[in-house]
Amino acid sequence: MTRRPSTNSFDARALLSDRSGTTAITFALLGTILLGFLGLGIDMGSAYYARRSAQNAADSAATSAAVTLASAGAGVSGEARAIAAGYGFAHDVNGTAVLVSSPPTTGAHTGDAKAVEVLIERPARRFFSALFSSGDDMIRARAVARVSPSGNACVVALSSTAEASALETGSANINLEGCSLYSNSTSATAFTLKGAAEFRADSVNVVGGYSIGNNATLTTVSGIHTNQASIADPYKDVTVPPYSGCTYNGASLSSGTYGNGSGSPTVFCNGLRLNSGVSVTLNPGIYIVDRGSFVVNGGATLKGTGVTIVLTSSTGSDYATMQINGGATVDLTAPTSGPMAGLVLYQDRRAPEGGNNSLSGGSSQKLKGAVYFPNQIVTFTGGSSTETNGCLQLVASQVAFRGDSHFQMKCENSGIRRAGGSAVALVE
């Protein structure tokens, strides 16, 4: 009799050898783990981007608030929050907090009245990781910017709109020894270096931006600072001294000593010219050039101590301009007191925009004092310089360098007015 297997029998070996369910469970577990890692990666990437964005917002907000502190002294919080909002971090929106403290309440600059602290906080957006953990993560970013008064400007470009208001071209080599350049222009190219120009300074400070060509070189001690507060015209209250008549008319001077010594200005109407071979000494005093041009040609010599040369117009037109040519010997020192203290060359601020005035020469050109042309361009060409331990300050609407020039600000007891306002930099 043949025995047939029971249909209800239990085969343990078959059950133990069946792996299909284990495989499914394993894949399910691995899939869950992989999904968790994927979610964690996405959340970490999102958090990194959010923190970076928050830090950029904090840096910009602190810098802009410090500029406001330097120029206005008030409205710091409003400025910082407005800048942060522009980066997508609006205060009191979606749990975001933009906390502004001036002076800072934490960090290395706690209690520093010249500094602004910005702290940005926002709950982090969580996608997949919220499935595996609870609680909120916070995005935090902090920045501190500080205002540093300097007052060491030896080159100031006053124009608020000009492109390349401070321009260096060609192979010019400019050295602002121990002093700085400031430009009030809001242009993106307010400070421009072209060609193989080399520029050295303590710092460069611009309201707008800058452009440096591939072959140009900028070397500074404390950097180039953009988005700075504009600085005030240090001589805005100085006016043309009263005068009348003409001491000379259309003069082309011969060698000798000039100046009446009486305290009243010596007036040159319709220009003043020194030609090659002429040697002129000016007595202390004020010298008015009323219309025409003030020209010193190569081979001429002009000297004087306690001297201010004023370029103006009594008719409201044909304002006098300046042209000091290469090869001229010029050694002039400004008065240390009186209404024109510190000013060696002064152009009437009513002179029309666009006029160009040039200083050329080299080691034979020594000016001690301020060269002031608030509404026109001054171009230094072909090797202008100042003496060792010199004191030269250039304040003009626009400044251009096309040759080697050397500036110093060793101006103690010179009558010159300090300029330079404030530089703003991130310090934390």
pTM over 0.75: no
- CA-CA distance, 330 to 345, in Å (whole number)? 12
- CA-CA distance, 227 to 143, in Å (whole number)? 17
Asked if residue 294 lies in contact with residue 311, where contact means CB atoms within 8 angstroms, the answer is yes
Residue-range domain boundaries for the chain = 22-126+136-147, 153-426
pLDDT 10s digits, 376-418: 999 987 655 555 567 899 999 999 988 777 788 788 888 999 8
pLDDT 10s digits, 191-247: 999 988 899 998 899 999 999 998 999 999 888 989 888 888 999 999 999 999 999
* Region 153-178 average pLDDT: 86
Asked if residue 377 lies in contact with residue 355, where contact means CB atoms within 8 angstroms, the answer is yes
Flag the least confident range among 71-85, 103-117, 164-178, 232-246.
Answer: 164-178
* Region 287-299 average pLDDT: 96
In this predicted structure, what is the pLDDT of residue 406? 78
Asked if residue 406 lies in contact with residue 370, where contact means CB atoms within 8 angstroms, the answer is no
Find the helix packing angle between 20-71 and 76-86, rounded to 10°: 140
Decide the pairing of beta strands 115-123 and 173-177: unpaired
**Percent share of the chain, pLDDT over 70:** 82
In this predicted structure, what is the pLDDT of residue 144? 95
CA 17 to centroid of chain Cα atoms: 80
Contacts 24+ apart (CB under 8 A), 109-115: 109/144, 109/146, 109/427, 109/428, 112/146, 114/69, 114/146, 114/147, 114/148, 114/149, 115/66, 115/144, 115/145, 115/146, 115/147, 115/427
Tokens, residue 360: 């050329």
Question: Does 36 have pLDDT greater than 60?
Answer: no
* Region 94-108 average pLDDT: 94
- CA-CA distance, 156 to 201, in Å (whole number)? 13
Asked if residue 153 lies in contact with residue 179, where contact means CB atoms within 8 angstroms, the answer is yes
Q: What is the maximal distance between C-alpha atoms in the chain? A: 155
In this predicted structure, what is the pLDDT of residue 245? 94
Asked if residue 420 lies in contact with residue 184, where contact means CB atoms within 8 angstroms, the answer is no
* Region 76-86 average pLDDT: 94
- CA-CA distance, 125 to 107, in Å (whole number)? 28
pLDDT band at 425 (very low <50, low <70, confident <90, very high): confident
pLDDT band at 37 (very low <50, low <70, confident <90, very high): low
In this predicted structure, what is the pLDDT of residue 387? 55
* Cβ neighbours, 10 Å, residue 221: 10
In this predicted structure, what is the pLDDT of residue 259? 93
- CA-CA distance, 47 to 236, in Å (whole number)? 52
pLDDT band at 30 (very low <50, low <70, confident <90, very high): low
Which of 156-165, 282-291, 324-333 is modeled with the greatest confidence? 282-291
